[in-house]
Amino acid sequence: MVEERGKAVYAAKAAGTDAIQPYASIGTRSGLHTIAGGKAILAHLSDERVDRVVDERGLEAHTGRTITTRGELEEMGARVRDQGYALNWGENIEGWRAVASPVVLEGRLYGAIAVAGPENRFRGGYFEETLPELVAGTANEVRLQFRGSGLE
């Protein structure tokens, strides 16, 4: 996904055979603060850009877990930058989880890669350790592809 006008935009998508699709077709826009990919993107925007996004779009709650304050947003950003990935614990849809990693090359943010699914499939060590490692690894592969393509 990429950021456009303060929203997360789904730019590409792949689905497995057992995929559940509650939203997120290509071109769908979501609040950056409500999804893992958006949080990965927000964590790598400048403070000034984050301020503009929050001023223009707000921090509307979608569930009881949604980030709704600038302080929560700052804590999330620091955690994402430190870990290299963002988690969604049902912040946009109850019972839905996701893991995302930013695609940053030479200091330039290109977007984020995410994987999402129902809470009953995304839990415990699989959700908190295995998926973050896989998603961060995939983001690394995309960075390497970008480097080889001359996009950097």
pLDDT in tens, 4-16: 999 999 887 777 7
Burial 25-48 (b: 16+ CB within 10 A, else e): eeeeebbbbbbbbbbbbbbbbeee
Measure the CA–CA gap between 61 and 68, rounded to whole angstroms: 6
H-helix segments, the chain:
36-42, 47-57, 70-83, 124-125, 131-149
The domains of the chain, with CATH numbers, are 2-149 (3.30.450.40)
Give the model's confidence band at 152: pLDDT under 50 very low, under 70 low, under 90 confident, else very high. low
- CA 65 → CA 25, 29, 46, 72, 122, distances in Å? 23, 20, 24, 11, 16
pTM: 0.90
Cα separation values, 152 from 35, 45, 114, 116, Å: 26, 17, 21, 28
151 pLDDT tier (thresholds 50, 70, 90): low
The span from the CA of 139 to the CA of 59, in Å, is: 27
pLDDT tens-digit readout, 104-137: 998 899 999 999 999 999 999 999 999 999 999 9
